[in-house]
Amino acid sequence: MNTEFKTYLISMGLDSEVTLKNADKILGIASKLCPEEIKDIFISEFRKDNGSREYESMWLFSDNFILEVRNFRSEIDIDMSNNKPIVYFRVQMKGFDYENDPGELSRVSLEAGNADSVIFMMKASWTNCNKLVSLIGKYIKAGL
């Protein structure tokens, strides 16, 4: 696993040796399944009412493919789809704007669909909002 991916996972609170080892294994398998280099990683997550973080999926991005890894902390369950053409996307933002750093209550969610009717749903809270917004520009908007 490259340093950028590892640093991101640690910043998301996914710093246990078991989780990092499983993520490395997932990236190895994904790189064999995907015909292109995996260029970005994203953890879809949200904050519960009690403030704890709920992790949903790991998302991997190449130039033309998006991979979703469900239950990434305990197993390997990978879906892969083209990310082009994107025919629809919806972004919802709460407590987030482009001018300021996201606060603890900032939220961003994405719902997007490709021409094959595959739906991508990702969520981000607090500092992860910037990562999701960046990926929307790089892979979702670019896929229109």
**Tell me, what CATH number does 56's domain have?**
2.30.29.30
Q: What is the per-residue pLDDT for 49?
A: 85
Question: Residue range 102-123: average pLDDT?
Answer: 94
**Domain housing 15:** 3-143
**Helix/strand/coil for 111:** strand
Give the contacts of 24 (CB within 8 A, at least 6 positions apart): 1
What's the average model confidence in pLDDT over 137-144?
A: 92
Quote the distance between the C-alpha of residue 14 and its chain's center.
14
Q: CA–CA separation, 66 vs 68, rounded Å?
A: 7
pLDDT at 86 over 90: yes
Question: Number of folded domains in the chain?
Answer: 1
Query: 18-69, pLDDT tens digit by residue?
Result: 999 999 999 999 999 999 999 999 999 999 888 889 999 999 999 999 999 9
Residue 63 near residue 98 (C-beta atoms within 8 A): no
How far apart are the C-alpha atoms of 65 and 59, rounded to whole Å? Answer: 10
Predicted confidence at residue 12, as pLDDT, reads 96
pLDDT band at 1 (very low <50, low <70, confident <90, very high): very high
